Amino acid sequence: MPLRLDSRQADFDTAFAALLASKRETSVEVGDTVAAIIADVRARGDEAVAELTNKFDKAGVTPETLAFSETEIDAAVARVSPEVMAALETAHQRIKAHHEKQKPQDHIYQDALGVTLGTRWTAIEAVGIYVPGGLASYPSSVLMNAVPAKVAGVDRIAMVVPTPNGQYAAAILAAARIAGVTEIYRIGGAQAVAALAYGTQSIPRVDKVIGPGNAYVAAAKRQVFGQVGIDMIAGPSEVLVIADGSANPAWVAADLIAQAEHGMGAQSILVTTEKGLADAVVAEVDRQLALLPKQEIAREGWEEFGAVITVASLDEAVPLANRIASEHIELALDDPQQLLPRIRNAGAIFLGHHTPEAIGDYVGGSNHVLPTARSARFASGLGVLDFVKRTSILGCDPTSLAALSQAAITLAEVEALDGHGRSISIRLNR
Ligand SMILES: NC(=O)c1ccc[n+]([C@@H]2O[C@H](COP(=O)([O-])OP(=O)(O)OC[C@H]3O[C@@H](n4cnc5c(N)ncnc54)[C@H](O)[C@@H]3O)[C@@H](O)[C@H]2O)c1
Ligand SMILES: N[C@H](CO)Cc1c[nH]c[nH+]1
Ligand SMILES: [Zn+2]
């Protein structure tokens, strides 16, 4: 049974605060292990990467076989059914079209003093994309990581994916082929992140490491930050469904289960104005879980981390949702537009009864790598902006320099930086 709360109960604030504070990530202390792995990869390069990959993944690799060969990629692509290829193509085309619209524009202008000011966007030269593969295989995540990088104009994309027991889904390599990624290594975990960040004999270093992964991957990304950029730490998945009496309990239940089946601390929460709907959804989740072949993970997630909150009105649901700041928010309402402008903190918002979150996971076009653990208060989902950087442009002529010089020299004096002031005054009255 998931946690049941009602905003009218006396201890609601305390119970809600406890829900927000609940720790869902693995309790294993991974920081020291990861630090040792990174140090080993920095010291011994490919030898260490191969050894650690065989230790954790039993992948049977050597320093010479870390990269997938062109022949292996061709063979994998040939094994993928036309139906799966077509689905990947559909997803690719839609994700690409949506991300094209995120491309930022350069701009340059002259202000009233004649100063030229501009902003120029340039793509990051080399990025490493981490595709998780320890417990499950995510071809869709290949596309979600690689497509915005391609759209941004990144020159080099190095993809890493673990291959436990030497096994991998052919669709992973097919998705990479469709996205135009050719440099692919069969490595994962902290050793893969370290190899991307510091480089090895056979894996040139990158400038930024992107992508979701487990606690080891997250810790490694934290530890290499500064040496390289990172996108975000995307932890266990979450959904918050806001529903009123117009919602279909079976559909809501199915969406809660879809997120809970990610396991590893995934969380599904329902906030509703209707106690009857809440009861029906709880019963329906139980009924539908029993139909799932792999029901244990989803059941555990739902019972351990799930919650059903009843509220007096949709107005009450809004601040709760903004405090939860879920990775995904579904507005299971006849009129989702009434709430949309008031939802401030969410990785992605799904409108109305006919937009299950899973459509966004695969083919909607928006990105499924999203901020978790309440970080939607300050972070955004993966997109083109993660693969570009901004450079400002400034230009003065003698007249505009003269107009600005006195204020600048005054500020240099305030900061006691005489050299700064002099670099300006030396140009005046010539
Ligand atoms: N947010 C998203 O978009 C998104 C998408 C897909 C997956 N995910 C999440 O990514 C995660 C994937 O986790 P995963 O474990 O399946 O795959 P993973 O690829 O993240 O991790 C596998 C690696 O973990 C390392 N590892 C495992 N045990 C270790 C140990 N004891 N010591 C050192 N290293 C160890 C190994 O090197 C292994 O290669 C899940 O939490 C999943 O929900 C998120
Ligand atoms: N819902 C996950 C995190 O947003 C992404 C995913 C991949 N495959 C299926 N789902
Ligand atoms: Zn999902």
User: Of all residues in the chain, what percent carry a pLDDT higher than 70?
Assistant: 99
Q: Write down the H helix ranges in 10-115.
A: 12-21, 31-44, 46-57, 70-79, 82-100
Residues of the chain with CATH 3.40.50.1980: 3-24+235-364, 31-104+120-230
Mean pLDDT of 237-245: 97
Position 151 scores a pLDDT of: 98
Q: Is the pLDDT assigned to residue 25 strictly greater than 80?
A: no
Mean pLDDT of 408-423: 98
Band of pLDDT at residue 294, cut at 50, 70 and 90: confident
State the ligand closest to the CA atom of 30: 1
**What residues have CB less than 8 Å from 217, skipping those under 6 apart?**
130, 132, 188, 189, 190, 192, 193, 211
Q: Is the pLDDT assigned to residue 8 strictly greater than 70?
A: yes
Tell me if 248 sits within 8 A of 281, measured CB to CB: no
Which residue from 295, 216, 224 is spatially nearest to 260, judged by alpha carbons?
295
Residue bearing the CA closest to ligand 2, atom 6: 361
- Taking the C-alpha atoms of residue 267 and residue 261, their distance in angstroms, rounded to an integer, is 9
The verdict on ipTM greater than 0.85 is: yes
Across the chain, mean pLDDT equals 96
Tell me if 113 sits within 8 A of 401, measured CB to CB: no
- Tell me the helices (H) and strands (E) count for the chain, helix number first: 16, 14
Band of pLDDT at residue 1, cut at 50, 70 and 90: confident
Band of pLDDT at residue 139, cut at 50, 70 and 90: very high
pTM (predicted TM-score): 0.95
Is residue 425 marked as binding? no
Give 119-122's long-range contacts (Cβ < 8 A, gap of 24+). 119/390, 119/391, 119/392, 119/393, 120/390, 120/391, 120/392, 120/393, 121/388, 121/389, 121/390, 121/391, 122/388, 122/389, 122/391
Position 263 scores a pLDDT of: 86
Tell me if 135 sits within 8 A of 28, measured CB to CB: no
Name the CATH superfamily, with its identifier, for domain 3-24+235-364: Nitrogenase molybdenum iron protein domain (3.40.50.1980)
Position 4 scores a pLDDT of: 97
Q: Is the CB–ligand 1 distance for residue 409 below 6 Å?
A: no
| β 307-310/229-230 pair status | unpaired
- Taking the C-alpha atoms of residue 195 and residue 205, their distance in angstroms, rounded to an integer, is 7
Position 234 scores a pLDDT of: 80
Which residue from 392, 385, 415, 257 is spatially nearest to 330, judged by alpha carbons?
257
Mean pLDDT of 147-174: 97
328 a catalytic residue: yes
CA angle, residues 109, 110, 112, in degrees to nearest 5: 140
Helical pair 31-44 and 189-198, crossing angle rounded to 10 deg? 50
Band of pLDDT at residue 221, cut at 50, 70 and 90: very high
Q: Is the CB–ligand 1 distance for residue 132 below 6 Å?
A: yes
Position 9 scores a pLDDT of: 96
Question: Side-chain half-sphere of 377: how many Cα atoms within 13 Å?
Answer: 10
Q: Is the pLDDT assigned to residue 430 strictly greater than 70?
A: no
Band of pLDDT at residue 222, cut at 50, 70 and 90: very high
Tell me if 123 sits within 8 A of 153, measured CB to CB: yes
In Å, how far from its chain's centre is CA 406?
Answer: 47
Mean pLDDT of 183-192: 98
DSSP summary character for residue 387: G
Atom of ligand 1 nearest to the CA of 133: 19
Q: Is the CB–ligand 1 distance for residue 188 below 6 Å?
A: yes
Position 29 scores a pLDDT of: 77
User: Of all residues in the chain, what percent carry a pLDDT higher than 90?
Assistant: 93
Is residue 262 marked as binding? yes
Position 26 scores a pLDDT of: 62
Q: Is the CB–ligand 2 distance for residue 257 below 6 Å?
A: no
Catalytically annotated residue among 238, 261, 284, 327: 327
Is residue 237 marked as binding? yes
327 a catalytic residue: yes
Interval 243-276: pLDDT, tens? 999 999 999 999 999 999 998 889 999 999 999 9
Mean pLDDT of 202-226: 95
DSSP summary character for residue 430: -
- Its CATH architecture, for the domain 31-104+120-230, is 3-Layer(aba) Sandwich (3.40)
Mean pLDDT of 105-131: 98
Which residues have C-beta under 5 Å from ligand 3, the single-atom ion? 361
